[in-house]
Amino acid sequence: MAPKKVFLSALSLLLVVLQPSLVESRPPEPPRKHLSNLFQNLDESHKGQNLKGLHLVKQYLKNLGYYPNGVDVTTNDDFDDHLESAIKTYQQYYHLNVTGNLDPHTIKALSELRCGVPDFFVLDQNLTTNSSKVKFAIQYSFFPNNPKWPTTKRDLTYSFKSGDGIYVDLALIRPIVERAYKRWQDVSPLTFKEGNSNSNIKIGFFRRDHGDGKPFDGPGKVCAHAFAPQDGRVHFDADEPNWKFGPRH
């Protein structure tokens, strides 16, 4: 769920907004270097350069769907054709000036908190430097193949299960989640109530690689992700320091 773009199947991520006191990660993980720390060294970087940390930008953009399949982005810090193309596509998608460089506006956009669901567009797998070979979606989209809860499953249950070493204050979380699903219940044929460990929807806070193939990235950027029906997992990044209850300002 990118900034200002919503995947309808995961809207509960926007409805459940939490206070900082709700989550405590124990024990703390050793500090790591994140993209936001690297941007001061990457400002105005462009094709042809080799700068430490560019491979992390590549990994981030690949996770969001901006790289063709099969392109290795693990360790190479070269600002190559693929990175320039990925940045151009990102800039075009977010209506930025399409330069192919990591300019200040692009860095600011990349630094925003967002859902980990990739941005929705059709990327030509032979794409190199021609960002025109991208078909953009409208401002919202369903998951591929439009998965839904079956008509026989309208009374859904949810439960809470967070990662090891993460303390969650359920006394505070429960009424917030209940309020969020009440809003869904008012405008849909679905009902929601808290259930047991076999619930349809499983809500939890996790850190880094937590076994679902979509590792979190620490403070900043990706703050949550959800899986389509009938999977039902809704995961929040426990490393985020600014969870709060209320509208975003």
- Which is the CATH superfamily of the domain at 36-141? PGBD-like superfamily/PGBD (1.10.101.10)
CATH 1.10.101.10 positions along the chain are 36-141
Q: Which residues are annotated as a binding site for Ca(2+)?
A: 217-218, 237, 240
Q: Does a cis peptide bond (omega within 30 degrees of 0) precede residue 27?
A: yes
Cα–Cα dist 3/115, whole Å: 8
Cα–Cα dist 185/158, whole Å: 13
Q: Which residues are annotated as a binding site?
A: 115, 210, 212, 217-218, 225, 235, 237, 240
| 249 residues of the chain, pLDDT tens digit each | 444 333 333 334 333 434 444 444 443 444 444 556 667 678 888 899 998 888 888 988 888 888 877 787 777 899 999 999 999 999 988 889 999 999 999 988 887 767 666 776 656 555 444 444 565 554 455 677 778 888 888 999 999 998 888 888 888 888 888 988 898 888 888 999 999 989 999 999 998 889 888 888 777 677 888 888 888 899 988 887 766 554 444
- Write b or e for each residue in 71-83: b if 16 or more Cβ atoms lie within 10 A of its Cβ, otherwise e: eebeeebebbebb
Out of 3.40.50.150, 3.10.580.10, 3.30.1370.60, 3.40.390.10, which CATH number does the structure's domain 6-27+144-237 have?
3.40.390.10
CATH 3.40.390.10 positions along the chain are 6-27+144-237
Q: Can you name the residues that pair with 233 across neighbouring β-strands?
A: 202
pTM of the model: 0.53
For residue 142, what pLDDT is reported? 63
Q: Which residues are annotated as a binding site for Zn(2+)?
A: 115, 210, 212, 225, 235
Helix axes 54-63, 81-93, angle to 10 degrees: 50
Q: What is the gyration radius of the CA atoms in the chain, in angstroms?
A: 19
Cβ atoms within 10 A of the Cβ of 151, count? 7
